[in-house]
Amino acid sequence: MTHTRTIQLNPVGWMSQLSQAEIELLAQHNDSERYQLFRICCLAVLNSGIDQDDMYALLNANQQFDVHLVRRERGVKIELINPPSHAFVEGKLIKGVHEHLFSVLRDLLYMENKYLLSSAECFAEGGVCTDMVFDMLRHANCLTTNEQLNTVVCWGGHSIREHEYKYTKEVGYQLGLREFNICTGCGPGAMKGPMKGAAIGHAKQRVKSGRFIGITEPSIIAAEPPNAIVNELIIMPDIEKRLEAFVRFGHAIVIFPGGVGTAEELLYLLGIMLHDSNVQQHIPIVLTGPAQSAEYFTVIDDFIGQTLGAKAQALYTIIVDDASAVGSYLYKQKAKVSAYRKAIGDSYGFNWALKIDADFQQPFIPNHESMAQLSLSFEQPSHQLAANLRRAFSGIVAGNIKAQSAADIQAKGPYILHGDERLAPLLDTLLKSFVEQGRMKLPGSVYTPCFQVTAP
């Protein structure tokens, strides 16, 4: 028989005060779906700092783990049963992790409440979807401090190589010296390096209120647990709202090397920026990596050039192996971002004016059928082509990682993507180069492609 370890956590932040009704919502019923989601998110957060991206391993190792809410005089406590020991130092939970647990509580309750009071479907629509993204960020108290135009969103792989990781730290350091804050998807790799670097840069500039914002989602948090440096954690309900949060919340975007997921993010971004309504928008975008990773960007840049054209290429700047130049470039762009927002009277803290089409807000659920139906031809406006390419990459990510998709592929063979005569070979080349560069799997494993590109 094992020993049961129980720890009660004092509430922190605004959520220390919950109403009776809210506590009811998350009270433990082992069978309730929302309770299970809450438990997994807590477990993920407690796994902070562990470099492991296998959600099932995590769950299996912690079957004895449980979590309860307990009302006490000074607010609602979270009670942990058999929490993983690596989140503790000298018997006390790391404060960053402690805060993250209450962020989980805050965001899951928010979603619950809104869904209860109204019909869930309405959140799929344009304006309402944007309002929900806004409301969750505001509710997490993220917006009032986001008016300095100094939030840099960093995207990139979570399992990059040592020299790439080191380079992300250097860029973070240069950003920190320029008093930028960092916002990422909050896992390891390119999502952690810039924060570590910026923390040192902030220390030298005596920035005590440096912000390290992690925006994640319930279905990914277990695979990419937030690093404890993240001092503002937000859990958006799905990938579409998460991506929308990044682009409306950040003031600039840096893309480090990554896998096909990173390419998906870049296509999402370009697809939006190519929309006619966004022609005046000013969002600085930098693609950067160390000298050894130069090829990654060459290949992507070529692909963008040949598919979306020079107009798309003009939206970003590639800087190779020069962290300080990345910092300087973004520093100088701030004036333009400010001028643009001022000119149209938009908020400094949330980019309301950015037009995001339904194409980018509606969830894409990849399977053999939906992948096969994707229109991958030049016979469409470039922002729609970008949207479809993003969906294709999204499907490949799922095929590589998600359990259900992987099983489907084992049963039915790889996803088939139908490209037109010009597009098919371009796509094939790009994806093969990712395989060659070893960006499809964690280093050391052999990759069996989950897709196949065919021309008509």
Span from 101-109, 263-271, 344-352, 412-420 in contact with its own copies (CB under 8 A) = 344-352
- What is the per-residue binding string for its own copies in 22-41, x denoting contact by CB under 8 A? --------------------
Q: Quick check: 144 binds its own copies (CB under 8 A)?
A: yes
73 in contact with its own copies (CB under 8 A): yes
Specify the pairing of strand 285-289 against strand 92-93: unpaired
Assess 158 for contact with its own copies (CB under 8 A): no
Which of 5, 72, 166, 432 touches its own copies by CB under 8 A?
72
CB distance 253 to 155 below 8 Å: yes
Which residue in 244, 243, 315, 324 sits closest to 286, CA to CA?
Answer: 315
**Cα–Cα distance for residue pair 206/198, rounded to 1 Å:** 12
Q: How far is CA 275 from the centre of its chain?
A: 22
Binding status of residue 162 toward its own copies by CB under 8 A: no
d(CA 128, CA 135): 10
Greatest C-alpha distance within the chain: 69
Using the minimum distance from each CB to its own copies, give the nearer residue, 96 or 261: 96
User: Phi-psi category of 254—alpha, beta or left, where left has phi over 0 and alpha has psi -120 to 50?
Assistant: beta
- The residue among 29 and 95 lying less far from its own copies, judged by its C-beta, is 95
Task: Check binding of 241 to its own copies (CB under 8 A).
Answer: no
The site string for its own copies over 196-215 (x = CB under 8 A, - otherwise) reads x--xx--xxxx-x---x---
User: For its own copies, which stretch binds (CB under 8 A), given 25-33, 65-73, 383-391, 437-445?
Assistant: 65-73
State how far Cα 9 lies from the chain centre. 28
3-state class percentages of the chain: helix first, strand second, coil last, to nearest 5? 50, 15, 35
Question: Would you count residue 94 as binding its own copies (CB under 8 A)?
Answer: yes
Scanning 33-41, 315-323, 340-348, 354-362 for contacts with its own copies by CB under 8 A, the matching segment is 340-348
Total site size for its own copies, rule CB under 8 A: 56
> Does residue 336 interact with its own copies by CB under 8 A?
no
CA 275/CA 355 separation, integer angstroms:
8
Q: What is the C-alpha radius of gyration for the chain, rounded to an integer number of angstroms?
A: 22
- Token pair of 205 as six digits: 């500039």
342 belongs to the binding site for its own copies (CB under 8 A)? yes
Residue 140 or residue 397: which is nearer to its own copies going by CB? 140
Stretch of 36-44, 246-254, 348-356, 361-369 lying at the interface with its own copies (CB under 8 A): 348-356
- Of the two residues 31 and 121, which places its CB atom closer to its own copies in the complex? 121
Q: Which is nearest to 111 in space by CA: 37, 12, 220?
A: 37
CB of 137 to its own copies, least distance (A): 9
Is residue 349 involved in binding its own copies (CB under 8 A)? yes
Shortest Cβ 350–its own copies spacing (Å): 7
In this structure, which amino acid lies at residue 6? T
- The answer to whether residue 242 forms part of the interface with its own copies (CB under 8 A) is no
Q: Whole-angstrom Cα distance, residue 173 to residue 165?
A: 13
Phi, psi of 258 (to 5 degrees): -165, -160
Query: Binding residue for its own copies (CB under 8 A) from 6, 8, 10, 16?
Result: 16
281 lies in the site for its own copies, by CB under 8 A: no
Nearest-angstrom CA–CA distance, 138 and 291: 40
42: left (phi over 0), alpha (psi -120 to 50) or beta: alpha
- Stretch of residues binding its own copies (CB under 8 A), selected from 18-26, 357-365, 367-375, 437-445: 18-26
CA–CA separation, 32 vs 26, rounded Å? Answer: 9
Is 86 one of the binding residues for its own copies (CB under 8 A)?
A: no
> Exactly one of 79, 147, 322, 428 binds its own copies (CB under 8 A); which one?
147
CA dist list (Å): 328 to 29, 178, 333:
53, 8, 9
On whether the CB atoms of residues 246 and 183 are closer than 8 A, the answer is: yes
Among residues 6, 27, 51, 138, which is the contact residue for its own copies, using CB under 8 A? Answer: 138
Site residues (vs its own copies, CB under 8 A)? 14, 16-17, 19-21, 49, 71-75, 89-90, 94-97, 99, 117-118, 127, 131, 134-135, 138, 141, 143-144, 147, 177-178, 196, 199-200, 203-206, 208, 212, 228-229, 231, 327-328, 331, 341-342, 345-350, 352
